[in-house]
Structure 1
Amino acid sequence: MLKPETMFDREHEWSELTRFATHRGPQPALGIVSGRRRQGKTFLLDAVCEATGGFYFAATEATEPESLHQLGSALARYLGEPVPRRFAGWPEAIETIMTLGAGDRPLTVVLDEFPYLAKASPELPSLIQRAFDPAGRRHAGAIRLLLCGSAQSFMSKLLVGSAPLRGRASLELVVPTLDYRLAREFWEIDDLSLAFLVNAVVGGTPAYRREYTLGDTPADREDFGPWVVRNVLNSSRPLFRESRFLLAEEPELRESALYHGVLAAIAEGNNTRGGIASFLGRKSTDLGHPLTVLEDVGMIAREQDAFHARRSTYRITEPLLTFYYAIMRSEWSDLERPGHATEVWERSGPTFASQVLGPHFEQLSRTWCRWYAAPDTLGGRRTHVLSGVLPDPAGKTGHRLDVVVFGRDAGGAERILAIGEAKNHAVVGEKQVNRLDRIRDLLVQRDPRASRQIKLLLFTGYGFTPELRAVADSRDDVELIDLERLYRGD
């Protein structure tokens, strides 16, 4: 099936959904579609139903009788019946859905916002399980049932452990946010430095480009600040409260004050469990549950230190959340009063540079190494990319590395391919390459995974000195990566 012309990218997602929806065979099939809110899941599923003549039902937060009434009304409209279907309960509704298809012609059925239905009717997954068991399938048509939801923790648990639907699904599709390269294309921004600035604030969520800003894109670098003021710091625009809504919409986040505190601590640079605990004035052991829940709902990611297996750091995965906790939360009372947004933005410049742009540029540098850099650039094929702090007992200090690229040798043993430093708002020169030279020497002495062949990577969003460019031209082990290479090269 042809992908709709209005759909940006999503080639993989469209391919998987259409393969599932058009699979020939008399037996029913179950698919699970999840992903954070505002990523275009509904648009995708509605388009699949439109292309296949399927039935799409979007649930709302309602009681069981109301949900069944809404389903009956939607089904009657789909079938061209004059009066709504009336269901005595979900067993009857599921039985009706499973017998919609005729013969072996596949029919797509989408139950969107499935967590709303299951919240009011906890037995629903078990009823669907029964419909897909051998006895239930004998009476079912060639239904291609897709359950979709944005509650990440709930959707991820549908198919794990002893969950009723474990082993029943033929598709488990997660719709991700657009990465920084795709986001630039989606926003249609040619200026790479401007694309980076916008991505650092709103990330790759498609809805923020159109619905939430009405297509308002910064005209140039000078318009970036005014764009933030009129779209993100403007209390009359939906992006202003979006970060708060993201937390409120997750059913797992019950003790909201604690979760807000954890995210605020990470946004301010306290990215270890001990640092977060100190920021909140709590014991480190008290944070296990909230950190796990925030990971489960996809708001933070835990990343292992490159040199300490037992040490981890946390980062916020949604740029808009980082921007909110770094810039907006402490200024909320001023921002709610019209006319103060420009003043808040002007005094937030240093914080924006250090707590938003700096960490975001480091993450983009690691993303580039993981997915876009060529093997020749990294000194081999990478397996994973981390950051870390290398201890230096002799110097009684630790050396932070923004990028550590790992691969494997011919025998399968892990080795370090490259190390790197990322500086967004500084001209990078010989001082930085000399630092990496010293760290590499230390690594060779201390880590059996290291060798003299480790590549040295220098990232900048600002520029390189002529002296450093001359060094890079004369050495095969030094790679310079600017915004042009981050966005368009390998």
Structure 2
Amino acid sequence: MTFDVERPADVFDREQEWWALSRFATSDSPGATLGFVSGRRRQGKTVLLQALCEATGGFYYEALQAEPAESLRHLGAALARYQQRPGRLALDDWDEALEVLLGLSDDEPAPVVIDEFPYLVESAPDLPSRLQAMLGPRTRSRVASRARLVLCGSALAMMGRLLTADAPLRGRSSLLLTVDSFNFRTAAAFWGIEDPELAFRVYSVLGGTPAYAREFVDHDLPTSSVEFDDWVARAVLAPTSPLLHEGDSLLVAEPSIEARNPAVYHSVLGSLVAGRTRHGEIAAYLGHRNSDLGPVLSVLEEAGFVTRDDDVVRRRRPAYRIADPYLRFHYAVARPRRDRLRRPDGARQVWRDQQETYRAQVLGPTFEEMARTWVRHFAAPERLGGEVSEVGRTVVNDRSARRSYEVDVVAIGPAADNGRRELRVLGEAKVGQRLGHSALGKLGRVRELLTEQFDTTRTRLAVLRRGLRGRAAAARRPDRSRPALHRRTMTAAHAGGDRTRSLPSMHG
């Protein structure tokens, strides 16, 4: 049995996250329970957890990056304030601290939150094992408690290691919640920007991190496309802007990177925005051996800075991309020109000079990912020709023409009774380019090349374009002499892939 906890008015969106947290916090299950909350910094985890504790009378504690003795003193002071005692509660060790935390709720379920838990594990590596012992199935500390213990952290690699197969707390939790960045739709609503073009541009700079639109720019957002360039110069690229330095700060705040050589991680992210997305390409670009970069890419992936995208057609050919639009902007535009940005009026000059870099390395990749997100999460199945089980990108070789084709959006359906999977959509997604007959011809040729591997009888060809001063548009080929491109309806995405329209009698 659970109880609904009203979401506070100042918590924007996050309905699913709030439901999961309130359900966990009020669960009538016997004994203490354990939950994990993770997510990159600035996503609003602390706001959610503090609001949860305020609404339910729970205990919230944000850990320090400190030695164990200082952390215990700090926790003791927080416990005394919560229990309305004078001074602080003396805690001799972590066993005693965990006993006290689990004992905060013995009658009714209530959340007990430890935020930035990785800070404590850094200085007390045996803490997870001690907690495991406390939460044993028949231990007194667990059976006598109704605490809903939440361990939260922004160090994604370390939080992930707490749940690996051989980790002490593996299998002990009943909540695993990740707080992600807002998608484009939610971010635009959060900013209050209704103009699709302006929202797309702002998203390409800030991404969907809530704090970047509030504290980091002091609530200063452009109100029209005319203001956008001035806003980037004054709020993002100015030497005094926190956003100019945030990218580097995020990297060194990840313990698994800080303990190594951060320079190589910065270089790898720089190579990704330059278009070197495969393991071998990155190694060659940086002058490293392939074997040297494997651990670096793994850490960046575990920490949430990059994502590994497998080619959905040609398996075992993964490509890496920066996971966040803000980081993409940082490494493409801001970080390489930090010296110039410190000069008088440097922000305006750099921004004016880097428009082509911004279009090619920031706007283009951002829109491609938004198009895949739209197909994956927002497009109705009937617009795609049926259910979709996999969405991604691919590179297809054309041996007869001695060339290869890159396809930005590929949607594949589940296997049919005959074992063949249906190729639902092949799509081209571009910003500021006119896409017409040549783009559709390329997609038609790719469809022919994939006929043996997939069922392509109902494959739809989609051309998605984000105009720099207008809505996204879809190309149309009126020439009926090419019947292979004229079977069914093609779907186009508007406003960065969030609204749709069907264009009848188009290239299917």
| TM-score range relative to shorter protein | over 0.9
Q: 1:428 aligns with which of 435, 438, 452?
A: 435
Does structure 2 retain, via aligned residues, the 8 Å contact 1:440–1:452? no
Q: 2:376 aligns with which of 357, 370, 383?
A: 370
1:435-484 per-residue CA deviation (whole Å, 9 max, x = no partner) reads 2222222322xx32142321101101126889827679x95524242424
- Answering whether residue 141 of structure 2 is matched by residue 114 of structure 1, we say no
Which stretch of structure 1 is more off in the superposition, 34-43 or 480-489?
A: 480-489
Q: Which residue of 2 aligns with 1:86?
A: 90
Q: CA deviation at 1:217?
A: 1.3
Does structure 2 retain, via aligned residues, the 8 Å contact 1:304–1:313? yes
Q: Which residue of 1 aligns with 2:150?
A: 146
Q: Which residue of 2 aligns with 1:239?
A: 243
1: CA distance between counterparts of 2:102 and 2:472? 63
- Answering whether residue 295 of structure 2 is matched by residue 289 of structure 1, we say yes
Q: 1:439 aligns with which of 428, 431, 446?
A: 446
Q: 1:477 aligns with which of 482, 488, 493?
A: 488
Equivalences for 1:341-360 in 2 at 5 Å?
341-360=347-366
Q: 2:321 aligns with which of 310, 315, 325?
A: 315
1:211-260 per-residue CA deviation (whole Å, 9 max, x = no partner) reads 11111111211111111111110111211100000101001112111111
Q: CA deviation at 1:100?
A: 1.7
User: Which amino acid in 2 is paired with 1:431?
Assistant: S
Q: 2:459 aligns with which of 445, 454, 457?
A: 454
User: Which amino acid in 2 is paired with 1:146?
Assistant: V
Does structure 2 retain, via aligned residues, the 8 Å contact 1:427–1:465? no
Does structure 2 retain, via aligned residues, the 8 Å contact 1:99–1:139? no
2: CA distance between counterparts of 1:138 and 1:260? 44
2: CA distance between counterparts of 1:49 and 1:377? 43
- Answering whether residue 165 of structure 2 is matched by residue 183 of structure 1, we say no
2: CA distance between counterparts of 1:352 and 1:129? 49
Which stretch of structure 1 is more off in the superposition, 71-80 or 433-442?
A: 433-442
Does structure 2 retain, via aligned residues, the 8 Å contact 1:36–1:152? yes
Equivalences for 1:323-402 in 2 at 5 Å?
323-402=329-408
- Answering whether residue 95 of structure 2 is matched by residue 128 of structure 1, we say no
Q: Which residue of 1 aligns with 2:505?
A: none
Q: Which residue of 2 aligns with 1:45?
A: 49
Identical-pair percentage: 42
- Cα distance, 1:317–1:138 mapped onto 2, change above 3 Å: closer
Q: 1:17 aligns with which of 21, 34, 50?
A: 21
2: CA distance between counterparts of 1:282 and 1:366? 32
Does structure 2 retain, via aligned residues, the 8 Å contact 1:130–1:136? no
Q: CA deviation at 1:188?
A: 1.0
- Answering whether residue 309 of structure 2 is matched by residue 298 of structure 1, we say no
Does structure 2 retain, via aligned residues, the 8 Å contact 1:30–1:144? yes
1: CA distance between counterparts of 2:420 and 2:127? 47
Q: CA deviation at 1:274?
A: 1.4
Which stretch of structure 1 is more off in the superposition, 109-118 or 450-459?
A: 450-459
Where in structure 2 are there 5+ consecutive unaligned residues?
Answer: 502-508
Q: Which residue of 2 aligns with 1:201?
A: 205
Where in structure 1 are there 5+ consecutive unaligned residues?
Answer: none
1: CA distance between counterparts of 2:106 and 2:335? 55
Q: Which residue of 2 aligns with 1:211?
A: 215
2: CA distance between counterparts of 1:62 and 1:338? 40
Q: CA deviation at 1:288?
A: 0.7
2: CA distance between counterparts of 1:38 and 1:279? 32
- Cα distance, 1:352–1:179 mapped onto 2, change above 3 Å: same
1: CA distance between counterparts of 2:395 and 2:72? 56
Aligned residues: 486
* TM-score, normalising length: structure 2: 0.92
Q: CA deviation at 1:138?
A: 5.4
User: Which amino acid in 1 is paired with 2:91?
Assistant: F
1:265-285 per-residue CA deviation (whole Å, 9 max, x = no partner) reads 001111111110111011222
Q: Which residue of 1 aligns with 2:229?
A: 225
Over aligned residue pairs, what C-alpha RMSD do you find? 1.9
1:108-131 per-residue CA deviation (whole Å, 9 max, x = no partner) reads 110110011111111111111111
Q: SS at the partner of 1:177? A: coil
User: Which amino acid in 1 is paired with 2:145?
Assistant: G
2: CA distance between counterparts of 1:374 and 1:12? 21
1:68-104 per-residue CA deviation (whole Å, 9 max, x = no partner) reads 111111100110111210111111111111112232x
